[in-house]
Amino acid sequence: MPPTYTIDEDHIPGIVCMMVEGFYDAETLARHFDDNAEFVSRWRARGKPIRVLIDANNLQPHTPVNQAFVMRSFERIYRPGDRVAIMVASSLVKMQMRRTHSFGEIIQFFVSEQSATTWLMAYDGQ
């Protein structure tokens, strides 16, 4: 499956929604995080809390090099008080992702959109 992504700030009010799928090569991964940073920067400039919902149900595992790039990108883009909910395909994947994608209270993994959205909106960032 080729790598694709979408970023939408109108689907759920107050939440930037992303969909990522396929196997990401380094170039697509870099482009995705540049676009991601642009959206987050615009929301910060408007004084909006950073709430991001990522549908990663069809994302293929990253190479170790790309995984390291993902973690550096998260550290560059997100700050304490931001929230990123990542939807994954199963509880097993959720457990595995929690082990490999530790980033404090900023990132959490979910199997359902409803749970992810509830978590995103339940915290005011203060």
Express each pLDDT in 29-64 by its tens digit: 999 999 999 989 988 998 888 999 999 988 888 888
Q: To the nearest whole percent, how much of the chain has pLDDT over 70?
A: 85
**Residues 64, 28: contact at Cβ < 8 Å?**
no
For 76, the domain range is 4-121
Domain containing residue 53: CATH number:
3.30.750.24
84 φ, ψ (degrees, to nearest 5): -130, 115
Residue 126 falls within a domain, yes or no?
no
pTM, two decimal places: 0.85
**How many whole angstroms separate alpha carbon 40 and alpha carbon 63?**
25
Based on the structure, what is the number of domains in the chain?
1
3 pLDDT higher than 90: no
